[in-house]
Each structure stands twice: as structure tokens, then as C-alpha cells.
């Protein structure tokens, strides 16, 4: 049942059915564009938190109907001030399902599918379904994972990137009053790992300050978290701190208070303790709204081709007034994630690992010095051979005499080769059957 009414999509049609001074030169106004957005275009939103709620609302109101959302979290009472798809009765429910239900009820015709899961629970066959992926994440590890996934899905023909294998990634991030939005065309423009240095480092206090010369309440809390917890193991051996467990936070609070008293430091509170333990930076609803809007606009531009996408990294801060700056983050030549075009190498099943090693050492193309070869089989990393580290060399030497079949290497298997002659690891795709000329 697609409820609609006259003029419902006028705001979108003004852009998709007319041209304009900022339109992309190849843009052809058409009624089909709206139809594409509504019926064909399939968007994945990763994260249904502060940015995710905004993104789902923005995308749905732009006419996109086929949306999937992934989130591994449940709703906490502290989310309610800004994650506006959630109500007090929803506390404890899953973010993905609650957000999807809200949008589907509120925006007629919209079809959001929820996944209460981790992004790592899905493989390439899932991610390949989407035209564009938009992220509202709070974790660098998750960003790098999805970035790596999209890069691994690229295909090359004769060394040329097959553009139809590209799934654009729009990534938003906020931290208090600061935020950024960026567009990544995997394999073509700077990726998450190209700009890894741009992420602000985690604030870490010197260990000796924490241990002996605390001056701030945070130093006292860090003392308990880093030094006292592993020593006293108050909740049993090997139990890690859970910042959402009130018993854990209360224990840390009490011990931090004792230490603060010893050094005449004031200002320890439950809130601060939990904030330090969970590394909470207070979220600002307006920053999320701006960044999500920028990301949704980019999704719209990419999906309709009505305008050149952001090139390619926008910073935003509203600490004092409003400031934004856009620049072109550069693709790194030696990026571990995206600089590699996987190269095909052909061997037979009966060939030995030694044959691959000899090839890397002696072929005129590579002339490597001491290559190490690793692979991943069923998601588990395996070191096939590494010469330069004695303890690994001894344990992997036997592999050299094994055939590729014995090593369970099949056609299409990726091999990762690090060598001092190359700035980053090389990726090879093993082609079985025909012997290399």
C-alpha cells in the first residue's frame, strides 16, 4: 500500500526534473529519476544512533524507499535526547528494528529493513546488493572494516578498474561540536585508510602521571581503570570493565574517589567516571543533524547524478560560530587498503609454495628480497611463509615443500605479500590450472 498525495514529491522533482546552474554537465532532467529513487535505488545505512536516526529520516523524506539499516546496539535512556526515532518505552529494544519500524509507520511507502547485527556478520554478497552505503559510525575499526570490504569487492580487467564494481561510501562522523562528511569512491578516491592519520588520537595520559603525579580527576579514574582493575580483578579474573554495568562503574568511582582524596583532587562524579571509562564525548544533536544532512545530500547527488558529489572531505565545527572547510583528501600511493590492484598469478595445483616464492624473487617484474606470504582462509589468517623472522621461518619452512593443493589454496585465493622492495603489501589472486609462461 503506497499512500501518496498530489505534490508530495514536488521538493525532489524541482531538482530531478529541471536543470540548473549547479547541475552536473551530463545530467538529464527526467521523471525517471524520482522513479529510480523510489523503486530501484537501494541504500544501506550503517548505524542507527545519533547520525543514523537523522540519516534514515532524511533519506526517506528524499524519496528513497528501499533502505536497510544495520546496528548492533540496543536503546539506552541516554540516547533519547537526540535519537528521535526512539521513545522511553523503547529503552532496551534494538536500535535497528525500532528505527526501521518508526520510519515505516511515519513515512508511507517507505520500506526499511532492520538488521540487529554487526557489520562483520555479513559478507560481500550482502553488501553487493546496495547502490550506495552511508555510515553513521562512532568507531574507526568499523569504518576501516567496511572500507576494506568495499575495496575487496572491486574488480579489475586488464589492470583497469571496472566502474560497475564500485559502491560509493558516504561517511559521516561527529564528536561534540565538530563533524565531518566525506564521499569515498573505493579504488578511485582517498579511502578511510588513506587518511587514517587525520583521525584525532585518543587522549592518553602518560602512565607515570597516572601512577604517581595525578593532578586531574581523570588521572585518578584512569589509575583505577588501567592499574588497579587488572591488579584487584574486583569482579573475577579476566573480567573486562563494562562501562554500562553500574556495579563496575560504582566500584571504579569509589576507588577513584579514594585516590582523589589522597591527592586533594576534587570533581569525581559518577558521570565523569562513566565518561572516562567509556571515552564519552558528549554528543550534540545539532552537529548530528548538519552532518547527516550533508551525507544525505551526497547520497541524493550520487543516486540521481544531478550534481557533482562532494570532492571529497568536508569539515564542520560550530564551537564558535559556524565554520566549514572542504578539501580533496588525496589517495595515498602506499595505502595498505586501496593502493593495491590485485594481480593475477597462475600456478598449478601441484606446484609447490617454493615455486611461488622463487617466482617473486626471480621474476623481472618483482625481484623481491625477502617476501613473506600470508593468506586468509575462511576468515582465518594464515602465514604461509616468512623468512625474516626466525621463529616464523622455522614453523612455516615445511610449507615450502607442500603443493598448493595441500595448502588448501584454490583458484581465486588472495595471497598477501610483504617485501622491503614495495611500500606496502601486494595482493595477488591465485589462478589455478594454466602454468605461467
* Catalytic machinery residues: 208
User: Nearer Cβ to another protein, position 252 or 373?
Assistant: 373
CB of 41 to another protein, least distance (A): 8
Closest distance to another protein from the beta carbon of 100 (Å): 19
What DSSP assignment string belongs to 373-391? EEEEETTEEEEEE-SSSHH
Q: Between 149 and 265, whose beta carbon lies closer to another protein? A: 149
- The strand pairing partners of 324, in sequence order, are 316
- Least separation in angstroms between CB 6 and another protein: 26
Q: Which residue, 271 or 397, has its beta carbon nearer to another protein? A: 397
Nearer to another protein, 35 or 350 (CB): 35
- Minimum Å distance from CB 108 to another protein? 23
- Residue among 28 and 76 whose Cβ is closer to another protein: 28
Peptide bond into 312 cis (omega under 30): yes
What is the C-alpha to C-alpha distance for residues 396 and 99, in angstroms, rounded to an integer? 50
Hey, what's the cell of 261?
582524596
Q: What are phi and psi of 138, to 5 degrees?
A: -120, 20
SS3 (DSSP) at 352? strand
Residues 365 and 318: beta-carbon distance below 8 Å: no
For 289, other C-beta atoms within 10 Å of its C-beta total 20
**Smallest distance from the beta carbon of 297 to another protein, in angstroms?**
15
b/e code 2-29 from CB counts within 10 Å (16+ = b): eeeeeeebeebbebbbeeeeebeeebee
Find all residues with CB under 8 Å of 313, minimum gap 6, and list them: 180, 181, 182, 190, 195, 326, 327, 328, 329
Amino acid at each position: 500500500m503506497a499512500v501518496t498525495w498530489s505534490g508530495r514529491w514536488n521538493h525532489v522533482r524541482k531538482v530531478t526534473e529541471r536543470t540548473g546552474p549547479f547541475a552536473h554537465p551530463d545530467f538529464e532532467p527526467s521523471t525517471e529519476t524520482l522513479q529510480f529513487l523510489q523503486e530501484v535505488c537501494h541504500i544501506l545505512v550503517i548505524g542507527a544512533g545519533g547520525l543514523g536516526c537523522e540519516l534514515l529520516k532524511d533519506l526517506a523524506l528524499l524519496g528513497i524507499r528501499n533502505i536497510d539499516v544495520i546496528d548492533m546496539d540496543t536503546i539506552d535512556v541516554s540516547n533519547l535526547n537526540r535519537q528521535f526515532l526512539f521513545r522511553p518505552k523503547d529503552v532496551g529494544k534494538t536500535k535497528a528494528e525500532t528505527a526501521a519500524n518508526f520510519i515505516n509507520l511515519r513515512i508511507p511507502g517507505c520500506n526499511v529493513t532492520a538488521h540487529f547485527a554487526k557489520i562483520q556478520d555479513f559478507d560481500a554478497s550482502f553488501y553487493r546488493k546496495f547502490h550506495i552505503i552511508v555510515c553513521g559510525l562512532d568507531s574507526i575499526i568499523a569504518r576501516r572494516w567496511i572500507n576494506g570490504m568495499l575495496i575487496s569487492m572491486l574488480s579489475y580487467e586488464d589492470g583497469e578498474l571496472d566502474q560497475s564494481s564500485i559502491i560509493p561510501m558516504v561517511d559521516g562522523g561527529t564528536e561534540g561540536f565538530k563533524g565531518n562528511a566525506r564521499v569515498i569512491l573505493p579504488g578511485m578516491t582517498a579511502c578511510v585508510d588513506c587518511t587514517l592519520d587525520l583521525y584525532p588520537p585518543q587522549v592518553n595520559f602518560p602512565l607515570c602521571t597516572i601512577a604517581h603525579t595525578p593532578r586531574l580527576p581523570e588521572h585518578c579514574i584512569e589509575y583505577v581503570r588501567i592499574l588497579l582493575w587488572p591488579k584487584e580483578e574486583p569482579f573475577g579474573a579476566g573480567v573486562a570493565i563494562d562501562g554500562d554495568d553500574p556495579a563496575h562503574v560504582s566500584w571504579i568511582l569509589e576507588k577513584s574517589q579514594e585516590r582523589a582524596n589522597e591527592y586533594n583532587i576534587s570533581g569525581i562524579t559518577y558521570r565523569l567516571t562513566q565518561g572516562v571509562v567509556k571515552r564519552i564525548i558528549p554528543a550534540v544533536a545539532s552537529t548530528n543533524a548538519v552532518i547527516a544532512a550533508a551525507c544525505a545530500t551526497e547520497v541524493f547527488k550520487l543516486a540521481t547524478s544531478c550534481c557533482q558529489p562532494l570532492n571529497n572531505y568536508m569539515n564542520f565545527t560550530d564551537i564558535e560560530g559556524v565554520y566549514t572547510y572542504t578539501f580533496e583528501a588525496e589517495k595515498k600511493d602506499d595505502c595498505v587498503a586501496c593502493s593495491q590492484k590485485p594481480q593475477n598469478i597462475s600456478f598449478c595445483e601441484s606446484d609447490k609454495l617454493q615455486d611461488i616464492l622463487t617466482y617473486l624473487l626471480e621474476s623481472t617484474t618483482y625481484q623481491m628480497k625477502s617476501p613473506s606470504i600470508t593468506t586468509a582462509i575462511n576468515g582465518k589468517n594464515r602465514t604461509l611463509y616468512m623468512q625474516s623472522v626466525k621463529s616464523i621461518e622455522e614453523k612455516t619452512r615445511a610449507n615450502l615443500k607442500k603443493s598448493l593443493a595441500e595448502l588448501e589454496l584454490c583458484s581465486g585465493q588472495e595471497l598477501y605479500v610483504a617485501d622491503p622492495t614495495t611500500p606496502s603489501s601486494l595482493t595477488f589472486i591465485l589462478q589455478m590450472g594454466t602454468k605461467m609462461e
